[in-house]
C-alpha cells in the first residue's frame, strides 16, 4: 500500500506530464485493440462473402481439350450429362454432396403485373448447402420429391422476391416462368456474397433440375458441384474425378483445360491467409504506436528518479537494499502502463459496442464486417503493456539503485 500511495503522490506532482503519458499509453492500446478488432471483422466479412457463393465446393465445368490423347486431337468439347453426376456419387469416395447445375439467362418471371428477368438454375436438394441458399422462415428449398415428380416449384432469392411481391408473403403464390406456371415454395434468407457468376444469388431463381430438363430439353448440364466430406480430401477427390471423367471422355488426365475446376476450398485457404496477414500488419502498426507511448513512460520515470534522489539516498543509507529500490520503480512503471492500457481497453470496448449498437455494419459498412475484440487480442495487448512497462522502468530503476547515499543528501 505504501508503494501505491507513493506512486499516486508522484503522479500528482507531475500532473500534466503524467496525464499525457497515460493518454499516450491509452491511445496506443486503443490503436492496437481497435485495429485488431476491425481487422478481425474484415477478415470474417471476406470469408462470409466468399462462402456466400459456395461452401467448400468444387465446381467442375466442361471445357475443350488442349492435349492430344489416344490419337484424338485437341479442341474437342467436353460436355457433361446427368449420368456423370451419378457416376461421381457412386465411384468417388469422400464426396458428401453433389449436384448437377443447369443454367439459363434472361429467364422471364411474372407475378401479377410485375415482370422481371433473371438467371435461373436447375439443381438438386444438395445445392442448398453447397451454395448456402438457406430458406427464410416459412419456406423451404426444393426436395427429392420435387425432383422425382418434376414439380413446377420455384425457390427465389430475397431481392427478386421483393421486386415481384413487395411486402406480400410469396409462399404458395404463382409465378409465370417463361409463360409456365410455377409455385413459390421458399425464398432465400439474405446473405452477403462477394464472389459470383451470372449475378448474385439474391436475384436468382431455382427449380428442380428434372423440371428444367423437361421444359427446355437440355442434353448437357452446365456444370457439376461437388463437396468433399472433409476439406483435407480436396486434392484426392479432384484427382479421382479427373481420372474417372478422363477415362469416360478420352482426354489426358493432365489436361486442365478439358474440365476446368473452380475450387472454393483453395479460395477459402487463400482468404484465411490474407486475413491473417492483414491482422499481422494492423497489429504491427498498433504495436509501434504503443511502443512510442512506452518512451513517454521511460521519460517520466527518469524524472521521478531525479526528483526523488534524496529520498532514495536516505533509504539506502538506512539499510534499504538495491533490489527494493529497483522493485519499487519497476512497479511504478508497470502500474503506469497498465493504468493507461486498461483505460484504452475500456474505450475500445465502448467504441466497438457503439458501432454494433448503432448498426453501422449494415449497408456498405457490411463489407467491413462486425468488429470483434478477441481474447487473443486482449491477452496480446496486456502482454505488450507489461513488456513495455518493464522495459521502460528497468533503466530508471537501475539508475535509482546506483545512487550514492552521501552524494544524494547534497542533491537539491
Please write the tens of the pLDDT for every residue from 94-114: 899 999 999 998 899 999 899
Same structural domain for residues 90 and 226?
A: yes
Same structural domain for residues 325 and 338?
A: yes
Residues 105, 110, 111, 114, CA torsion sign: positive
Query: What are the tens digits of pLDDT across the range 43-89?
Result: 776 666 556 556 788 889 998 998 888 777 888 899 999 999 999 99
Average pLDDT, the chain: 81
Q: Are 39 and 278 in contact (CB under 8 A)?
A: yes
Q: What share of the chain in percent tops pLDDT 90?
A: 31
Bridge partner residues of 369 (DSSP): none
Is the pTM for the entire model greater than 0.75?
Answer: no
Taken as a whole, the chain contains a residue count of 412
Angle at 231 between CA 260 and CA 233, to 5 degrees: 75
Spatial neighbors of 386 by CB under 8 A, at least 6 apart, are: 334, 337, 338
Whether the predicted pLDDT of 364 surpasses 60: no
Same structural domain for residues 178 and 296?
A: no
Rounded to 10 deg, the angle between the 322-357 and 15-51 helix axes is 50
Q: What is the pLDDT of residue 266?
A: 74
Q: What is the pLDDT of residue 9?
A: 62
Same structural domain for residues 239 and 282?
A: no
Same structural domain for residues 69 and 203?
A: yes
Q: What is the pLDDT of residue 119?
A: 92
Same structural domain for residues 164 and 296?
A: no
How many C-beta atoms lie closer than 10 Å to residue 156's C-beta?
29
Secondary structure tally for the chain: helices H, strands E: 13, 9
Q: What is the pLDDT of residue 68?
A: 85
Q: With H, G, I as helix, E, B as strand and everything else as coil, classify residue 185.
A: strand
Same structural domain for residues 115 and 220?
A: yes
Q: Among 212, 246, 263, identify where a domain stops.
A: 263
Q: Among 228, 263, 298, identify where a domain stops.
A: 263
Same structural domain for residues 173 and 309?
A: no
Q: Among 231, 263, 295, identify where a domain stops.
A: 263
Distance of CA 68 to the CA centre of its chain: 43
Q: Which domain holds residue 30?
A: 2-51+268-409
Q: Which three cell numbers stand for residue 350?
A: 465502448
Same structural domain for residues 273 and 397?
A: yes
pLDDT average, residue stretch 193-210: 84
Query: What are the tens digits of pLDDT across the range 124-137?
Result: 999 999 888 899 98
Same structural domain for residues 297 and 245?
A: no
Q: Are 214 and 151 in contact (CB under 8 A)?
A: no
Q: Which three cell numbers stand for residue 391?
A: 522495459
Same structural domain for residues 306 and 386?
A: yes
Binning pLDDT at 50, 70 and 90, where does residue 140 land?
very high
Q: Are 385 and 337 in contact (CB under 8 A)?
A: yes
Same structural domain for residues 254 and 318?
A: no
Q: What is the pLDDT of residue 376?
A: 77
Q: What is the pLDDT of residue 180?
A: 94
Domain count, the chain: 2
Amino acid at each position: 500500500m505504501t508503494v501505491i500511495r507513493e506512486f499516486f503522490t508522484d503522479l500528482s506532482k507531475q500532473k500534466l506530464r503524467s496525464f499525457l503519458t497515460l493518454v499516450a499509453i491509452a491511445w496506443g492500446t486503443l490503436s492496437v485493440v481497435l485495429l485488431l478488432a476491425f481487422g478481425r471483422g474484415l477478415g470474417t466479412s471476406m470469408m462470409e462473402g466468399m462462402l456466400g457463393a459456395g461452401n467448400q465446393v468444387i465446381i467442375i465445368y466442361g471445357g475443350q481439350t488442349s492435349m492430344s490423347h489416344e490419337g484424338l486431337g485437341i479442341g474437342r468439347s467436353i460436355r457433361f450429362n446427368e449420368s456423370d453426376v451419378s457416376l461421381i456419387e457412386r465411384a468417388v469416395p469422400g464426396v458428401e454432396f453433389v449436384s448437377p447445375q443447369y443454367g439459363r439467362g434472361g429467364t422471364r418471371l411474372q407475378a401479377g403485373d410485375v415482370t422481371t428477368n433473371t438467371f435461373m438454375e436447375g439443381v438438386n436438394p444438395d445445392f442448398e448447402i453447397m451454395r448456402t441458399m438457406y430458406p427464410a422462415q416459412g419456406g423451404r428449398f426444393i426436395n427429392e420429391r420435387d425432383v422425382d415428380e418434376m414439380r413446377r416449384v420455384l425457390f427465389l432469392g430475397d431481392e427478386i422476391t421483393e421486386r415481384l411481391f413487395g411486402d406480400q408473403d410469396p409462399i404458395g403464390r404463382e409465378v409465370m416462368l417463361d409463360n409456365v406456371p410455377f409455385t413459390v415454395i421458399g425464398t432465400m434468407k439474405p446473405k452477403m456474397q462477394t464472389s459470383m457468376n451470372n449475378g448474385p444469388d439474391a436475384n436468382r431463381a431455382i427449380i428442380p433440375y428434372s423440371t428444367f430438363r423437361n421444359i427446355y430439353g437440355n442434353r448437357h448440364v452446365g456444370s457439376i458441384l461437388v463437396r468433399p466430406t472433409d476439406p483435407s480430401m480436396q486434392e484426392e477427390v479432384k484427382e479421382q474425378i479427373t481420372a474417372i471423367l478422363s477415362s469416360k471422355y478420352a482426354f489426358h488426365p493432365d489436361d486442365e483445360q478439358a474440365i476446368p475446376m473452380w475450387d472454393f476450398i483453395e479460395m477459402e485457404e487463400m482468404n484465411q491467409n490474407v486475413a491473417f496477414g492483414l491482422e499481422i500488419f494492423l497489429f504491427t502498426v498498433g504495436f509501434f504506436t504503443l511502443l512510442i507511448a512506452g518512451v513517454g513512460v521511460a521519460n517520466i520515470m527518469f524524472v521521478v528518479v531525479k526528483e526523488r534522489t534524496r529520498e532514495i539516498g536516505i533509504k539506502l543509507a538506512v539499510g534499504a537494499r538495491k533490489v527494493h529500490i529497483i522493485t519499487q520503480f519497476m512497479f511504478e512503471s508497470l502500474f503506469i502502463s497498465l493504468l493507461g492500457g486498461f483505460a484504452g481497453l475500456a474505450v475500445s470496448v465502448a467504441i466497438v459496442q457503439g458501432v454494433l449498437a448503432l448498426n453501422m455494419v449494415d449497408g456498405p459498412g457490411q463489407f467491413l464486417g462486425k468488429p470483434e475484440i478477441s481474447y487473443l487480442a486482449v491477452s496480446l495487448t496486456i502482454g505488450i503493456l507489461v513488456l513495455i512497462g518493464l522495459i521502460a522502468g528497468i533503466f530508471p530503476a537501475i539508475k535509482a539503485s546506483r545512487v550514492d547515499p552521501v552524494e544524494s543528501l547534497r542533491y537539491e
